[in-house]
Amino acid sequence: MTDLLALDDVHVYYGPFHALRGNTLTVGEGEIVSLLGGNASGKSTTMKTILGLIKVKSGSVRFAGEDVTNASTRHRVKAGIASVPEARRVFPQMTVDENLLAGAYTRKDRVGIAEDLERMREHFPRLGERRRQEAGTLSGGEQQMLAFARALMSRPKLICMDEPTMGLAPKLVDQVLDEIVRINKDLGVAVLFVEQQAELALSIASRGYVLATGEIVLNGTSRELLDNPQIQEAYLGKATQA
């Protein structure tokens, strides 16, 4: 599988604080990869580094064969990286359609944007029904679908999702996970997503990385990670045998 995204020995600092410690990870074309870890483990910092919101001290970030280590966020979005931020962060006083159009801010092709707007209404029928409704009045699940659709409006090759199930009712969590799989399979978009609930994340991802204090401490296929005693004890609530 060809690497779409590749971080190589990436170090990031917040002032004197060493936030990411020589991390190397890849996401292949059309792949779903999960990024696991507890609070303050470096998951969100990794996402911000990929999006160009934080500068790399050393190491490199490559996307679609291009070195984007020093590229702006706008350049990365145009190259094909989109994001679904933590807690969805839709624009609450804008309508559903206005939120979707905001996702195409780097594009100039009006005809293509109009076509994609219609495609999002078809792919997410509930959004089509609520196209003129203010986003802040949608349910949590509908807002998450809107955040997905807004990200897709940039025609990305990769979507970075930061805890997409956070704050959702249990019955909606499965819907969100199903939608991630549908986006991946139907549209061929690769997904890198942060998740604290390992079992949920690894149920749809092909591979995963585990972060602790800014360092990748484990990686492997989803099956390998689910079978790993360290993962079982730390994330699945299963005590390891002495």
CATH of the domain at 23: 3.40.50.300
User: How many domains is the chain built from?
Assistant: 1
In this structure, what are the phi and psi dihedrals at residue 42, rounded to the nearest 5 degrees? 110, 5
pLDDT band at 237 (very low <50, low <70, confident <90, very high): low
Rounded to two decimals, the pTM is: 0.90
Residue 228 falls within a domain, yes or no?
yes
Contact in structure between 36 and 163 (CB atoms under 8 Å): no
Give residue 82's domain range. 3-89+160-235
Residue 240 falls within a domain, yes or no?
no
Residue 137 falls within a domain, yes or no?
no
pLDDT value at position 220?
Answer: 95
CA 58, 19, 22, 190 torsion: positive or negative? negative
**Of 3, 160, 34, 28, residue with least CA distance to 86:** 160
Residue 150 falls within a domain, yes or no?
no
Q: Token digits for 126?
A: 């509930």
Lowest mean pLDDT among 30-44, 79-93, 113-127: 79-93
Please compute the mean of the pLDDT values over residues 191-220 and round it to a whole number.
92
Residue 241 falls within a domain, yes or no?
no
pLDDT band at 234 (very low <50, low <70, confident <90, very high): confident
Residue 154 falls within a domain, yes or no?
no
In angstroms, the CA 14 to CA 106 distance is: 29
Q: What is the pLDDT of residues 23-82, one digit of tens each?
A: 999 999 999 999 998 888 999 999 999 999 999 999 999 999 999 999 999 999 999 999
pLDDT value at position 240?
Answer: 45
Residue 120 falls within a domain, yes or no?
no
